Amino acid sequence: MWDAGWEKLFQSRDWGKYPDIEVVRFVARNYFSADCRSAVNILEIGCGTGANLWFIAREGFTTHGRDGSSSAINKLRHRLEGQSLDAKLTVGDVNSLPYPDASMDAVIDCECLYANSMEDSKAIVAEITRVLKPSGKLFSMTFGTDTHGNGMGESIPGEPNTYSSLSAGAIRNDCGVVRFSSRGDLDSLYGSQLTIQSVDYVIRSVNGGPEVIQEWVVVAQKPFGA
């Protein structure tokens, strides 16, 4: 569920100009060879100011984005218009996606689901599954349990490694729920509705110190005929 803290964050910060390399890799591997890129519909949930969508639009794909922050969407729209790029953008919570069934070839989640409880995340994945075409793919990056900050907040009862806020840690942002995922959590979240194709992880240090940020990189596919 979207938290209003994100609106304050996007109002005060001008960040997110260039795409994540893992997103670039996923899009290139799966869709660069498409006969007609404009026929490929790619949606990013929690798109923020659109670092990834800027790249996707530049590459000629039909681009869709949804975020709860009107400030983020306005910044993204201004950037795209300034470069004569186009994307279909909406403001709202990602637990309700305003797109028809089976309309997207791919959905990208770059650290959006982590800001939701497991219960809410499963509902969002159900919405993602609904809008994906048969054989469509979900790309998801989400923080792992080894990330600095896990255990440093007010726990949500019944939700392991999930906090209503963090008191410290590398990803503290005062924007509500933070959920860290174990490897088993990935099967529960994605595998119950989609077919997991690959699970990788990226670990980087925090300012060269002993603390780390761990990110799972998941690719899952909607079964053909579903």
Mean predicted confidence (pLDDT) in 79-96: 97
Domains of the chain: 4-146+181-222 (3.40.50.150)
CA 124 – CA 138 distance, rounded (Å)? 12
Residue-wise pLDDT for 39-69, tens only, equals: 999 999 999 999 999 999 999 999 999 999 9
Residue 170's pLDDT is: 76
Residue 17's pLDDT is: 85
Residue 162, strand partner residues: 179
How high is the mean pLDDT of the chain? 93
Sheet containing strand 178-179, edge to edge, reads 153-155, 162-166, 178-179
Q: How confident is the model at residue 8 (pLDDT cuts 50, 70, 90)?
A: low
Residue 122's pLDDT is: 97
Evaluate the CA torsion angle 119, 121, 125, 130 in order and state its sign.
positive
Is the pLDDT higher at 179 or at 172?
179
Residue-wise pLDDT for 120-150, tens only, equals: 999 999 999 999 999 999 999 999 999 999 9
Residue 166's pLDDT is: 86
